[in-house]
């Protein structure tokens, strides 16, 4: 996944977006699928960016709800269908109302799930009741993906297939183990890992993402630097809580 929230795409120029996408695609070199974030509150911009990344070789696109504009249901449908019609690679709907101020109504998800070029939804509302409503539309052609690390197992219990994760930036093996354990039928292991790492996951969201995950990565000597303004360094008391959570739960398997 390139150009997501954790990558601070909201503070990058279009030229930087293109450079990051190209760097990731060149580095991966086809070894695994790459999803690139191409969403915008402007439909025209989302279409242009989607076409650009498709031409670069992206395998899929992540398209967020049109924030700030807060379109009605018809506008949401037209927005996503216009993007999906413009490219020949699958798009993932991104529902994160806490960030965008708007959400995809279940009936809108139902409609969009039938589009041949809309293959999944990244669901990050944190509302398990909402998840249950849209889980009815999961099919061979439409997948449900968790956008919240603290709800991987609950969402998968309703038909989800995995997670687009923040936590995986420091504990990828554990994150993979949670999802694979569920998918292979080891429900108890999946549940145990979800609960064992919940304290660390919660600490990674003690302040707005990606402030804590960048702090955590720097603590692990990954040297990812700080955040772009208006985001800044963590409050000292929160940094101490994050460090304590990381000391209790080992991330040596990263």
Distance between CA atoms of residues 181 and 235, nearest Å: 36
pLDDT of residue 249: 63
Q: Are 206 and 241 in contact (CB under 8 A)?
A: yes
The verdict on whether 94 is a catalytic residue reads yes
Res. 253: pLDDT tops 60: no
Is residue 180 very low, low, confident or very high in pLDDT (cuts 50, 70, 90)? Answer: very high
> CA dist 132 to 97, 143, 147, 152, 155, Å?
17, 13, 15, 14, 8
Q: What is the dihedral of CA 21, 25, 26, 31, to 10 degrees?
A: 160
**Closest of 173, 178, 166 to residue 214, by C-alpha:** 166
Is residue 247 very low, low, confident or very high in pLDDT (cuts 50, 70, 90)? Answer: confident
Residue of 53, 122, 130, 214 marked catalytic? 122
Q: Are 217 and 170 in contact (CB under 8 A)?
A: yes
> Which of 101-110, 114-123, 232-241, 245-254 has the weakest average pLDDT?
245-254
Distance between CA atoms of residues 120 and 155, nearest Å: 14
Residue of 94, 130, 137, 197 marked catalytic? 94
Distance between CA atoms of residues 121 and 143, nearest Å: 6
Average pLDDT over residues 199-220: 96
Q: Are 12 and 219 in contact (CB under 8 A)?
A: no
Element (H, E) at 111: helix 106-113
Res. 251: pLDDT tops 60: no
Q: C-alpha angle with apex 220: 218 to 222, nearest 5 degrees?
A: 55
């Amino acid at each position: 996944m390139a150009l997501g929230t954790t990558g601070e795409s909201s503070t990058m120029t279009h030229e930087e977006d293109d450079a990051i996408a190209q760097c990731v695609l060149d580095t991966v070199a086809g070894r695994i699928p790459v999803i690139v974030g191409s969403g915008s509150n402007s439909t025209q911009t989302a279409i242009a960016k989607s076409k650009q990344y498709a031409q670069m070789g992206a395998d899929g696109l992540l398209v967020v709800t049109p924030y700030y504009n807060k379109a009605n249901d018809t506008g949401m449908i037209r927005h996503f269908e216009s993007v999906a019609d413009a490219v020949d690679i699958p798009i993932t709907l991104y529902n994160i109302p806490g960030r965008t101020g708007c959400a995809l109504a279940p009936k809108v998800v139902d409609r969009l799930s039938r589009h041949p070029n809309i293959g999944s939804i990244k669901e990050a509302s944190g509302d398990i009741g909402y998840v249950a409503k849209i889980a009815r539309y999961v099919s061979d052609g439409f997948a449900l993906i968790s956008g919240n690390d603290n709800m991987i197992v609950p969402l998968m219990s309703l038909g989800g297939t995995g997670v687009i994760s923040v936590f995986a930036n420091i504990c990828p093996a554990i994150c993979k183990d949670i999802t694979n354990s569920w998918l292979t039928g080891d429900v108890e292991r999946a549940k145990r890992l979800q609960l064992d790492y919940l304290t660390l996951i919660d600490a990674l969201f003690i302040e707005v993402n990606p402030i804590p995950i960048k702090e955590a990565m720097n603590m692990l000597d990954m040297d990812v630097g700080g955040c772009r303004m208006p985001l800044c360094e963590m409050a000292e008391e929160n940094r101490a809580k994050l460090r304590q959570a990381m000391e209790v739960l080992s991330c040596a398997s990263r």
